[in-house]
Structure 1
Amino acid sequence: GRPGADADDVVARVTLPRGVTHAPDAVVPGTDGCTADAGGREVLCRLGRLPAGTTRPVQLNVRVAGALDRSAEIRVTGAGAAETRASVRVVASSANLTPVWSGIGDLDVTEVGAPLLVCRYGAQVPCPSVHRPHDNNGLDMQPLDDAAPPGPRADVPVSSQTTLALPAGRPVVWAGLYWSGVRAPGDGWSAELGTARLRAPDGTWTDVRAPADAITRVDDSGRSYYPSAVDVTDVVARGGAGAWALADVAVADGRSDPEPTYYAGWSLVVVHGTQAADGASVTVHAGGAWIGRATAAPAFAFVAEAGTRARIGVVAWEGDRGSGDDRLSLSGVGALTPLRWDGTAVAGGGSRSNAFDSTATGWRYANALGVDAKGFEEVVLASDVGTLTPTTSADQYLIGVVTVRTVAPDGVSAP
């Protein structure tokens, strides 16, 4: 149209992503003149005449089915004006877990981890219990320091390492570092909650700092649990596969708990491959979902496509090897089967009735004494919204990360 001319019959066409629908009945009124098709994802807002040089704000109320990180596409047309296109990012949380990274392409995701406290029996550290179905609860949990960095240390020095395995030739697209610990009401912390030192396979140490607003959780006995998280994509992309180590995070500086449940540990979550317009969809959700005996289990909903193959992964803290009846159930599927220490689900595989059993892929022992970093057997989604429900009858644990990788039957994931 002519520069500076008025625009007539202006229409904004909004295509909402899967899992998001128009909500005209929301408490806060939306812009008049916006109507959706029967599916609720294609919305037309008829804005009428717009004088040259003016703007017209549009509020579109929507309903979100679950956690997602996708884009709404907008196309604006009008007589006397050039067509305009834009996109708006839509991010939604569920069960206190928020998408922190999402992508599509030739992508896969892996979780590895290790404890920072291990049991002691006499002079043996770790004690023989790391090989057997024993818990951190009641054991003499002591600092592990088997990858000690140079320079000043925390008040309670801790360090451990895990092995990150990546297929040859696949670049790191995204990586997140997570760590956690617990203290009793009478204990202090050995360091700042958001500080840590990360060592790459070539031996290079990097100081990392998580946001200062880390949230602690308190259980029914007054114990404080914290999760910390930081994006380490650049560091892991340079370092690649191999033995990674973490050192000197905050751990309990005492042992005052009359019913000890001490743990501390860490994990790397790594997405690898190449991004493209289609292929597998990978989303990493992070936060802190507390599952305890005295609280209702939070249901985590995520948006995908019915019929797609889905691989779920978790990072969780304080799960017990010896306690049963911890389940991670998916709507339309049932309880998921955890992969074992070596990443398999064959003989000696995980139990659906003990989903959070202290299995940390990459660590040198099968029992990680309070640290879970692993995947579950692939399943087929029964609907466009998958709901994960963690439950327990005796244990309590903190879920810090849920990863979701989906692939449609034809290999192309829908946006």
Structure 2
Amino acid sequence: MRQSLRPLLRRATVGALTLATLWVPGGALATAPPSPEAGRIPFAERYRALQHGGIVRAANASISCRATAAQLSCPAVREGGAAANGDFDMFYVDVDTDPNTYNSSRAEVRLPDGARATYARLYWGGNLRVGEQKPPKDNGRVLIAEPGGQYKEVLADTLVGHRTAQGADAFQASADVTKLVRESGSGLYTVAQVNVAMGRSTAGAWGGWTLVVAYEKAAEPLRHLALWDGFDTLGTGRDLAPRGLRFPKGASGRVGLVAYDGDRGRTGDSLTLSADRRAPVALTDAANPRSDVLNSTISEPGERPAARVPSYVNTLGYDSDVFDLGTALRRGGDQLAFRLVSQRDAAWAGALFVAVDAQS
């Protein structure tokens, strides 16, 4: 196995997890200085490995529309109706029983039997300015609980993206959580206290989290596993063209994307792949139309997606999608060029990962 990690501005960690303290109901969190921030963070490789295995991810939203008599359409929108976050008074998702948290949601890490996590990274982000203004000093911290476990505070271990644009005050932070996931394995993980504002505004409230997990398993094909992250608005497009990922003819693979503030039903965004400088192929599926890829979905191929609590179909501004690369890889090559475009939303891209069959 070949593997390289390139953490930036890493803080002191316990193993691979930045744990400030265990969460004790009624107790105070450890004091930590605000994480360093930048308005734009160019996409850069975070992790790469060549190993028998793959990548899975868990994800969920931290805020949704408030189901009240004044917002009768909220339940229908949660079930997949076309609407944008700016159409609603938004309120926190909170599924735990802890009175000290104001938002929490769960999602399943589903590792294959016998697999071992080799790298795991948690991404979280949201809009700080809606009906209220949240302080940015809390951007770089969240709580996470493993399946059956208690909350642990996680601090960002790299530069936090934080930028104000088109009425939104947007951020994304991330941290290495490999040790926790390796020891805990599959199951429902809970993430709480994502720094996101509630209320209503033209820009809308949005926020959520994604846990990306690379794993190894000897019985699976040899694959290139890679993860990139950054933070910037999309506009006319962002390109990512990793080299050195040699794949054979007829290869299979998947790509995952994390993005913020895409609105369902508002067309003009797309994700394309050009393999070995060939004509680009649009990545699309039943959950993600060709011209509305950033449509507030958490989706993946297969008939039995990973569990989420809650499992809203329309997340109202948070996308964490996995696409099958299908026929785009059929002729083989050594270069993949992804292009993500948003021509109508003030959308942000946060992370992209791939798992592609390797040339043996």
Counterpart residue number, 1:357: 295
TM-score computed with the length of structure 1 as normaliser = 0.66
Deviation at 1:230, TM superposition (A): 0.3
The aligned amino acid for 2:322 is G
| Structure 2, gaps ≥5 residues long | 6-40, 300-305
Which of 65, 71, 76 aligns to 1:128? It is: 76
1:384 and 2:327 aligned: no
Deviations 1:339-383 (A, max 9, x none): xxxxxx5xx443222212222244322222222122112243465
Instruction: Provide closer, same or farther for how the CA distance between residues 147 and 187 of structure 1 changes in structure 2, counting only shifts above 3 A.
Output: same
Counterpart residue number, 1:298: 238
Instruction: Provide closer, same or farther for how the CA distance between residues 355 and 371 of structure 1 changes in structure 2, counting only shifts above 3 A.
Output: same
Instruction: Provide closer, same or farther for how the CA distance between residues 301 and 69 of structure 1 changes in structure 2, counting only shifts above 3 A.
Output: farther
Which of 346, 349, 353 aligns to 1:396? It is: 346
Contact 2:296 2:316 (C-alpha < 8 Å) held by counterparts = yes
CA RMSD of aligned residues (A): 2.9
Counterpart residue number, 2:225: 282
Greater radius of gyration (CA): 1
Instruction: Provide closer, same or farther for how the CA distance between residues 253 and 373 of structure 1 changes in structure 2, counting only shifts above 3 A.
Output: closer
Counterpart residue number, 1:200: 146
Superposition map of 1:2-17 within 5 A: none
Counterpart residue number, 1:210: 156
1:327 and 2:275 aligned: no
Which of 248, 251, 259 aligns to 2:193? It is: 248
Contact 1:189 1:253 (C-alpha < 8 Å) held by counterparts = no
TM-score computed with the length of structure 2 as normaliser = 0.75
Counterpart residue number, 1:317: 260
Which shifted more, 382-391 or 185-194? 185-194
Instruction: Provide closer, same or farther for how the CA distance between residues 337 and 270 of structure 1 changes in structure 2, counting only shifts above 3 A.
Output: same
Instruction: Provide closer, same or farther for how the CA distance between residues 320 and 186 of structure 1 changes in structure 2, counting only shifts above 3 A.
Output: closer
Counterpart residue number, 2:173: 228
Counterpart residue number, 1:366: 313
Counterpart residue number, 2:93: 144
How many residue pairs get aligned? The number is 302
The aligned amino acid for 1:322 is G
Counterpart residue number, 1:170: 115
Structure 1 CA distance for aligned equivalents of residues 158 and 114 of structure 2: 36
Counterpart residue number, 1:4: none
1:98 and 2:44 aligned: yes
Question: Among the aligned pairs, what percent are the same residue?
Answer: 25
Of structures 1 and 2, the one with the larger relative CO (CA 8 A, separation 6+) is 2
Structure 1 CA distance for aligned equivalents of residues 89 and 106 of structure 2: 21
Contact 2:288 2:294 (C-alpha < 8 Å) held by counterparts = no
